[in-house]
Structure 1
Amino acid sequence: MRIAFRIAVYTLEYIEKNGLSLEKSFKRALTKSSIRGGEIVSQSYEYCRTALFSYSLADLILNKNYFRKISLRKKCAFRIAFGLLRKGYRLREVIYDAGGLLDRYLIEILREFKDISVEELVDRKDKIKFLSIKYSYPKFIAKRLVELLGEEEAEKVFKKDLKATEWIRINTLKVDIDKAVKKLEKMGVIIEKDKDFPELYKVVKSKVPLSTLKLVREFKVIIQDKGSVAVVHALNPAEGEVIIDATAAPGMKTSLIAQLADN
């Protein structure tokens, strides 16, 4: 979606210009775009997270191949586009979603380098730079972890963070769990029921990015971490209660509160 892409761009701009966290930057981007909820929120948030996992490599490629002055907005758009391509999105879809933020030179760079590996660009002997670029960690953090743990153990930490488990929640206010599960299976999404929370499923494998699924766009299935779900269950919301979520951004916990309270 173009709106989701634009919100993600605003978010990365706020992170870089103001040094804000992802959550605070994302909230500001939503306000700027006059978006309060819906599938656009979850999709744009996923765009942001996807870009952050590969932004160091994106910046390296950009610095080596784009020889014109570039605005921060275009730079952030490139980061998001690069991250989406690495996750399996098609270039044509990404160009459309970018809505003119990618010029023809950026598009050519994306086409040429979307499948390149860090090993092809960075010498492994420079272990700090290599780990920093490959896993999108600031150099000072990569250096400190290597000092504390050694290169091999530090890389295990980076890998674990990079391959975080994806979780989805079935929104029972809009769809029956069994029906949603069957539809997901038909779409090529292999899931595993969580033992702690009945509406939560771990994504074992998906043939397509989760945010592109119709069920996600219709807000029937919600991309949400297990930790976020656990917080709401600890609250134990009940029907008839008045609950104020004073820190809602992007609102996934709020929607689960409504679901558990059958509201």
Structure 2
Amino acid sequence: MKDGETPLSGTFACVGTQTSLTFQAGKATFPLKHGQSITIQGIPAGVTYEVTEAEANMDGYEMTSTNATGTIQKDIAATAAFTNTKVPSGTLTVTKTVSGNGVQPADRNKEWGFTVTMKHGETPLEGKFDCEGTQTSLSFNANGHADVRLKHGESITIQGIPAGVTYTVTEDMADLDGFKTTSTGATGTIQEGKAVTAAFTNTKNGDVTGTGEDTGAGTGEDTGAGTPVPQTGDADSPGLWLFLLALSAMGLTAVFLRAKRAPGRRRP
């Protein structure tokens, strides 16, 4: 409540579910069950008010209201009436899969963003819905949009969507970073008592082709590999060279000794 542009603060006497209600910075909260009411007394004339339901359009209920905003008139009782009507509903599940032989571990741990848009006729669907999966609830703004993030293998199921609501699910990063994005059920209409699924798959395949070089392996072609080649010796063997050197030395020694023992010739 506001008095002009000034938020109204203070405690006011009440009749109904509680005896008083305190406003701070122009706001106060209170719960009501079916058939209950609360009457706030002593509000100055000229004060403007706005009443909102915190859980509007949740759990398959559709909320309508009358006189939810207005101005307090002297000696006139104003009534803000809220009605929640249970409507036939269905569910929407969004799933994410990452596949392909080019996928890295980081790709499977990455969160992929989605935008879910819902409309009831031409009117964007606004409200908070219970969910199962990666989160327990999901709020749609005044444009009927809600953001979802999913990793590989994860899903979220939005419950209590009124039958007849149309939906569109889009992936924010479709066909990026080498991935090909495909989907089924990305658009449709919620049916009473039915579960619909929008399934998204991102596929990345790497280059699995070889070099094309033919080495002849396994073809029966004789490449000569493994054919023994006769060897005449090993020039790099030090033992062989030492043996030959010793043999030569022995031969020279024998020649020298023989020459020494031979008798010399006399000159005439």
TM-score where L is the length of structure 2: 0.22
Greater share of strand: 2
Q: Larger RCO: Structure 1 or Structure 2 (Cα < 8 Å, ≥ 6 residues apart)?
A: 1
